[in-house]
Amino acid sequence: MTVTRFAPSPTGYLHVGNLRTALFNYLIARKAGGQFILRLDDTDPERSKPEFADGIRQDLEWLGLTWDREEKQSARLDRYADAADKLRAAGRFYEAWETPAELDLKRKKQLNMGHPPVYDRAALALSDAQKEALRAERGAGVWRFKLDQERIEWEDGILGPISIDAASVSDPVLIRTDGQVLYTLASVVDDTDMGITHVVRGSDHVTNTATQIQIMAALGFAPPSFAHHSLLTGPQGEGLSKRLGSLALRDLRAAGVEPMALLSHMARIGSSQPVEIVGSLDELADGFDLSQFGSAPTKYDVDDLKPLTARYLHGLPVEAVADDLAAAGVPAEKASDFWRVARENIETRADIAGWWTLFSQGAEPLVDPENRDFVAEAFALLPEPPYGPETWGEWTAAVKEATGRKGKDLFMPLRHAVTGRRRGPEMADVMPLLQTKPKL
């Protein structure tokens, strides 16, 4: 069975970069009829917060990315301890005591000599007495995994053949001095225990993948299939900051972005396929293909979501917005006519209330000074409602006869005055929905 996972840390709110990873893994699982696991990587007790975990769940639920089960790393610490003991017994785990300042100095020396800034494994040369002395002086050290200094190769689902020389990579720290197990080890154990078959994540994890493949081998585990998607940039290719409001899913939700508009966008940008609005996640999964994605950084522009949201709403039947119409005060008997007339002019669901206010209570007239007398004369020729489909034609004909105006000079000032807007639906459709006579 295909099993994928989304493994966010509950140390902040989800952003569009997180969504890219979550969506790819979700679509792979659903297309194959497999399982999608939500795994909270909460081994950092100081930064992990319940409110962030709740926010992650809420964002995924808003998008419809349902998970088959939830796991928490904080409940699996004993499994990580077992794995650490196994690595120690195999001679692949060693303790090191260098301070951050000492490591920084080593890196600078290596760079000055033209060498890659790789940890020199000085801790491996320590005698037992030296280790005891450092432990007494500095407390517990970090635990590093001893890499086999050979090439690590795999066929990446997006990047193609990957080959990394382990000699160019520092032995990774898997356990901190305070005993906290880091992502690199915890993820290996979790992915194996949970039967993960496919791991899709950002290209900034390529080196992590190389080291994790060796850790899995040292523990007797077979690696899953890996794929690394490109990272998002701004519309001009600039780097994205997670602190920008345009990136947080909760802010996009508050701005009225439609889930399927966002998902349709994220499932296609960076691929050879055009962005197209789809109606459901099942449809999105059916057309999803990792091989269509490239390695180049992918430009993301939040403004692209506005027309996509509008296009999605324009295609919805009245039944799909019934609750929104009711909340805006649209009577059930007028819902179909209202939605037929107004939907092409609605950019977000929040716009519904404004259009119904226009129809039910009238608009603040938009009148240029030079047209004020003309509009006043025209309004005097308009009878009281109710109005029908023929009202607009009859009224404008009467105004033309009385004033001599015609064409745009006749129609546009009246449109602006009646609706309070520069553009909108056909006025023949607007008039039957008006509940009150327009007034200056």
- Is residue 422 within 8 A of residue 366, CB to CB? The reply is yes
User: Residue 245 pLDDT more than 60?
Assistant: no
Out of 3.40.309.10, 3.40.50.10860, 3.90.800.10, 3.40.50.2300, select the CATH number for domain 79-175.
Answer: 3.90.800.10
pLDDT tens digits for 379-420? 999 999 999 999 999 999 999 999 999 999 999 999 999 999
- Is residue 93 within 8 A of residue 145, CB to CB? The reply is yes
Confidence band, pLDDT 50/70/90 cuts, at residue 81:
very high
- Gap between the Cα atoms of 423 and 437, Å rounded: 19
Q: What pLDDT is stored for residue 370 in this prediction?
A: 96
Can you tell me whether residue 424 is helix, strand or coil?
A: coil
> In the predicted model, what is the mean pLDDT of residues 30-39?
98
- Is residue 424 within 8 A of residue 377, CB to CB? The reply is no
Angle between helices 77-89 and 183-193 (to 10 degrees): 100
Can you tell me whether residue 317 is helix, strand or coil?
A: coil
- Gap between the Cα atoms of 219 and 337, Å rounded: 65
What residue spans define the domains of the chain? Answer: 3-67+186-232, 79-175, 245-314, 325-433
- Gap between the Cα atoms of 80 and 78, Å rounded: 5
> In the predicted model, what is the mean pLDDT of residues 98-107?
95
Look up residue 74 and give its DSSP letter: G
Say which amino acid occupies 157.
G
Percentages helix, strand, coil for the chain, rounded to the nearest 5? 50, 15, 35
Q: What pLDDT is stored for residue 241 in this prediction?
A: 66
Say which amino acid occupies 367.
V
Mean pLDDT of the chain: 95
- Is residue 416 within 8 A of residue 367, CB to CB? The reply is yes
Say which amino acid occupies 146.
K
Strands 151-156 and 142-145, how do they pair? unpaired
Strand partners, 232: 298
Radius of gyration of the chain (CA): 31
Look up residue 163 and give its DSSP letter: E
CB count, 10 Å around CB of 427? 17
Say which amino acid occupies 280.
S
pLDDT tens digits for 334-347? 999 999 999 999 99
pLDDT tens digits for 188-231? 999 999 999 999 999 999 999 999 999 999 999 999 999 999 99
| Residues 3-67+186-232, CATH architecture | 3-Layer(aba) Sandwich (3.40)
Q: What pLDDT is stored for residue 242 in this prediction?
A: 54
Q: Which CATH superfamily is domain 245-314 in?
A: Glutamyl-trna Synthetase; Domain 2 (1.10.1160.10)
Beta-carbon-side half-sphere exposure of residue 354 (alpha carbons within 13 Å): 13
- Gap between the Cα atoms of 238 and 236, Å rounded: 6
Nearest to 102 by CA among 52, 138, 50: 138
